[in-house]
Structure 1
């Protein structure tokens, strides 16, 4: 019975979300040559609508422990599902999110994403791609925009704590800005690569700010521990033993 209810809720959720995504993407692209502010507005409405249907269709509550200031720093999020990626435009006013290069090839959505100011991540692009990412990141910081990085590189099932990808260390060293880690447990109610979503509570927990200039190993260890703060207590220990 529980699964049947979750299935019906999920069907309605996906119908509404796909419809709104289509409307928002088309609206954002139509406004590209007219108003950058209007494009940002369409993206924010899309994200707010997603949170609304998560709350009232799926039965999910969102809790934020701590404060995320809208300042030019580097936020590093735990990445358990698509949930936290869709949330970025309402967690911040106009974040610069590092996103996989292949996402920008999606018709309509990719055009809107570039105009909005997402930063493409080309993992196979070598030094040239790294310089392009660094330049885009510095330009966003100069405009007062927060940077958002999912340093594990892909969605990670709840309870797992892989090492951070090397790109984090490069950005941390070259940007020279504070890092704010954010733990998320979205993978329980909003599991990755699963069609059916579940009611429950999704929590963001903002960790202690990490200053620039620390040794690479120390910075990575502190970020990794903080973004996994909502994992079961034994999960990080088991991951460390395995490594």
Structure 2
């Protein structure tokens, strides 16, 4: 047992030494940005647009997340964007639900941290929130290691979404709220989708954010009038509100 423990400790030291060597050898992370979504990249259009915008402005981008649905073609074709897949954990099916959730969060934290320490050193880590548990804390630790800046893009609060299932007074929701506010304040910069969110972040969390509105991608175009007419004529055959 002692020999086995010593071997594991030695292996851990070797891994830390290799990671430290990689960190020292990295060229400061200049121009590199890691965009992180602890979710499906194909269903995260805003983060894909961030990656495309950064790439078009000369940055090398690591786009990290689950690869369930296919990301947009522009993302796949960009030579400046590298997809970094994260295994989609299905969760433990044994024991109480709270126990399953805790185990899943711990495994996700280890998995995400390992992935973030394995990539090339970034200047910035741009993280989507929610989900923020455990991604905010993990991204913050990775930024400490890489000496990078953490940017959080606030789409919502994770604890408010959790409260829809468990109620606002559930202990897990209260912990998530405390966690999100605490680690959210440790970010270097913050973005949000609305002015209401920006104000709420400042009033309730003491977090300064910049509103970055969602805009349609360049490949969206107004439907030509002729196609609009054909569509409404077709709908009028089946639906009363569209009939003249």
Q: TM-score, normalised by structure 2?
A: 0.28
Q: TM-score, normalised by structure 1?
A: 0.28
Greater C-alpha radius of gyration: 2
Q: Which has the higher contact order (CA 8 A, sep 6+)?
A: 1
